[in-house]
Chains A and B, each alone.
Chain A
Amino acid sequence: DVVMTQTPLSLSVTLGQPASISCKSSQDLVHSDGDTHLSWLHQRPGQPPRLLIYKISNRFSGVPDRFSGSGAGTEFTLKISRVEGDDVGVYYCMQATQYPTFGQGTRLEIK
């Protein structure tokens, strides 16, 4: 299995300030099709997850441009340019280059 390791595991951010989450994979995530199947999801308390970013840096439908993804190979980052109240919850990175595996999750709270 590909192991996904997120840091930090928790984050306390002031409203309007930026936030950044790192995700590292135990193997290179470049697929034989040439794409890197790395995505980011957000789960608010008591809600199912929702897709934020796919293929490293593509925002999914309806996701505000405050969210951005970057990276390559085995190291990836999710950035929120200005944290808002609705951003609280847990963020997961996920790879699907091999059978899907998720990071442990990073809990974001408002300071």
Chain B
Amino acid sequence: EVQLLESGGTLVQPGGSLRLSCAASGFNFSSFAMSWVRQAPGKGLEWVSSVSNEGSTFYTVSVRGRFTISRDNSKNALYLQMNSLRDEDTALYYCVKDTHNYGPYYFASWGQGTRVTVSS
């Protein structure tokens, strides 16, 4: 069974930094693209970033230059380094497994999410 367990979300001040982690199990992690998708309180879904199985990275425009996605295939782990955080980054951040090795294409499995709140 695919399991994705996010951690690292917390309350942070505007301009601050945070690193989210996702521990994956139940599948061959190194064979699949992974993504972060966020959901602001009471709002819809927004794709944030993806990384292919071999490390190619993709970002939505609003986080490019501030966020960095990475993965450690030896640890079955996905990360999101978030710098220069803004109020509008406040959201529940989901770790997501793709159906392909080179995504993003289809978001097949989702974690429960980790909450990031940016506020002074």
Report how far A39 CA is from B106 CA in the complex, Å: 7
Count contacts on B: residues with CB < 8 A to the other chain.
22
Interchain CB contact (< 8 A) of A54 among B45, B47, B50, B99: B99
Nearest CB in chain A to that of B48: its residue: A100
Residues of A within 8 A of B105 (CB): 37, 54, 96
Q: Is the CB of B45 within 8 A of A102?
A: yes
Count contacts on A: residues with CB < 8 A to the other chain.
23
Residues of B within 8 A of A104 (CB): 44
Q: Is the CB of A101 within 8 A of B47?
A: yes
Report how far A71 CA is from B53 CA in the complex, Å: 30
- Within residues 26 to 69 of chain A, which ones have a CB less than 8 A from any CB in chain B? 37, 39, 41, 43, 48-51, 54-55, 60
Interchain CB contact (< 8 A) of A102 among B46, B50, B108, B112: B46
Taken residue by residue from 67 to 106, chain B's Cβ proximity to chain A (1 for < 8 Å, 0 otherwise) reads as 0000000000000000000000000001000010001111
Report how far A32 CA is from B113 CA in the complex, Å: 33
Residues of B within 8 A of A102 (CB): 44-47
The interface centre, meaning the residue of B46, B61, B104, B105 with most chain A CB atoms within 10 A of its CB, is B105
Nearest CB in chain B to that of A49: its residue: B110
Nearest CB in chain A to that of B60: its residue: A99
Q: Which A residues are closer than 8 A to B by beta carbons?
A: 1, 37, 39, 41, 43, 48-51, 54-55, 60, 90, 92, 94, 96, 99-105
- 10 closest Cβ pairs, A-B complex: A48-B110, A100-B47, A54-B106, A102-B45, A105-B44, A96-B105, A39-B106, A100-B104, A51-B108, A96-B104
